[in-house]
Structure 1
Amino acid sequence: MLGAINGLFVAGLAHLAIGGIAFLLIMLAEVIVLFIRLASLRQVRSVRARGEVPQIDTPISLSILWCSLQGLLFFFAMRTGNTAIMVITAAHCMGLVGPLCARNYAAPRLALLLVGLCVLPFVLGAASTGEPLMLALIALLPGFVLGVLQLMGHYRGAMLAALSAELSNAERARRDPLTGLLNRHGLEGVIQSVSRNQVFSIVCLDLDRFKPINDRFGHAAGDQLLCEVTNRMKAALTEGQVLARIGGDEFLALLPGLGPEETQTTIGAMIAGVSGPPYAVDGESLVHIGVTAGFACFPEDGCGFTELHVMADRALYAAKKAGKGFGARYEASIAA
């Protein structure tokens, strides 16, 4: 926007100083392109607000057209021979280079094209005056192009580093640092992506006999045990099924596409895996551990993640009281 305003300002000054119709036509064309660009920008924002991916062919074409108009303005302004106009034009031209590189760092060839459309006509216009000092601009052009490439490389490196750090921080915020599983926050994000027309089950799992082992052998052994248990439970799941650790020895599983019977089968596989071969702790001792589960199904048992989680947790509590080591589905009789 500021670049467009500056372009109109330079064209207006050139017209006032020199007269003629050329700068008036350039101003008219810039105003038309500006309004089209604003309308295109509003459309892109509207598409993004709907969560869709906008088409960028039109914005790119308009950017190329606008830079071509700027180049035309620079060419004629430098040919005026008016020192004040030439200085203002040079300042405007150089002022465009940084923003063009910064906004298009992800597309270096496009950025170089846009910069070239502005700078080359400026250089040619200055050189066509025949002034020796203006001719020197041609000799400076290769160094300028190299500087532009370095500037784009700097912007690209800085932005990619920032995006990488942001993605890394976001991933750490949704992951359990010990097991690498999703945490509660991460699982809620996955839940939101599940289609409301698809059946799914929420399973709460709690390890049996873990606390005495953790107290006896220490937290380091307990952490190792949790990691091994995680691997066994994950081995019982298939693609698209998600396991999360929500704290201590408590886990939560999301099983998309599974009804009550299939969920019970999957829970049985997880329990068998966890309670199978003994675990080695402190280098020599072997221990056994089990897991109890409670689950609730959508849409039969509830309509939302929070509601289903509460139901699955109540089913887990009832299974613990009933003897542990098995999976129980939520029933209305255990709601109280």
Structure 2
Amino acid sequence: MTKTGSRKLPLWGAILLFAPVLTVLYYVTGHVAGSAAVATQVLYSASSVGAVAGLVFGAFRYRGGRRRPWLLLAAGQGAMLAGDLVYYVLGLRAGEVPYPGPPDVCYLTGYLGLVAGLITLVRRRTPEWDLPSLIDAAVVAVAAALLGWVYVIEPMAAGAGGAAQAVTVAYPVMDLVLLALGVRLMLGAGTRPPAFWLLMIWLLGMLVGDTTYSVQALLGSYDGTFVDGVWICGVLCLAAAGTHPSMAEVDEPSPAAAPDATKSRLVVLGAASLVAPVVLAVQYLRGASLHVPEVDVACIVLFLLVVARMAGLVRVQRAMAITDGLTGLRTRRYLNEVLGTEAERRHRTGTPFAFLLVDVDHFKRVNDTYGHHAGDRVLVEVARRMREVVRSGDVIARYGGEEFAVLLPGVTPRRLEKVSHAIHRGVSTAPFALGDGRLIPVTVSIGGACMPRDTDAVEELTRIADQALYAAKSAGRDQVVLAG
């Protein structure tokens, strides 16, 4: 007789299940006790409390020393929570909350924390900024800014003055900044684990809630029925993102840019580029203000961004043709071209060069034991460690599967021995992290040859290096064998 244990619901799953329950409790309590009741405010604030606690919990549980983006998000949401509480207390005491007032200071500070957290995530996921995705996000942001200005910001600010007008404009502007960062995360490179999608759902919920609130406030029809529920569920998705174990992977640096110019991306960019003329046509048909200066500026900016995007697209396509999509290293085709160039230079000037083949030992065992995702992480980490050892002018390529190649211009046989052992130590000394706290030892076998000591033909050089690699693996792996 066998026993089957019940599977425990993870914390992030419990939070997601609690979201609709909390929303229903909030509405029922508000209907029975009134919106000013303490119980109603407690239920509304529970989502923000959960988000702050979840983000702090995840930052210290899963992130080790890389906690900054998540703690910034927690600080931003904490400031939002403080704004809700200050607004509620002032409303009880004075009956009417001044605008702008202390709650607005808290809310705008909260926006700054959220923006800082998302910027940190963007910078860590793509340290080089990934210019194509940045331009794409700018196109969408400019289109959204034009829509926001014509239909939300300008009408709301028209009836206010001084500080009230500045704060009224600041709220939708901060939402536009969050939108731009969200689009940048979606269009940029990097892994997308469950915590990433929970983060995006939170951001979408916040933007939908804020936009609906602005439109309802502009029309004088705000009742909180829909908006509060969206905010509660969205903020609890942020709490779930913080407690999900995959939040440790969200800000991992991407070794290569994401696939470029996909159909869906082109559709989004095309639609965004048409926003300015469509707004002009709609305003003309409505008999409303055409906003010619704003539309002109938007058209000019969008045109310049599209031109920059086209120029970048040509460059990116060239780079993708010679770059391995997983590791960010050069491709075998590119390496073969450089080998030919080095051979010609060797015949002209007599400059020697060396060639290494590096193979990950027992890589199939890693895939079979831990899964292909873990195998990919190992390959990416091997590539990163090799980059740290070699010179900037050396060429590292993914030669095939778990095999890498290194071209070392100007390296003599004596220098080759030092370099090959440095690469071996740099890759194999420290264990590899697979996520969830798992560490495994990974070693490599290296075979190498040098021109002109071992041969004077490129094809023969790669064959000799391959024979040396085979000798290293036959001798027990985890070692370096050099021809000659």
TM-score scaled by length of structure 2: 0.35
Structure whose CA Rg is larger: 1
Q: TM-score, normalised by structure 1?
A: 0.49
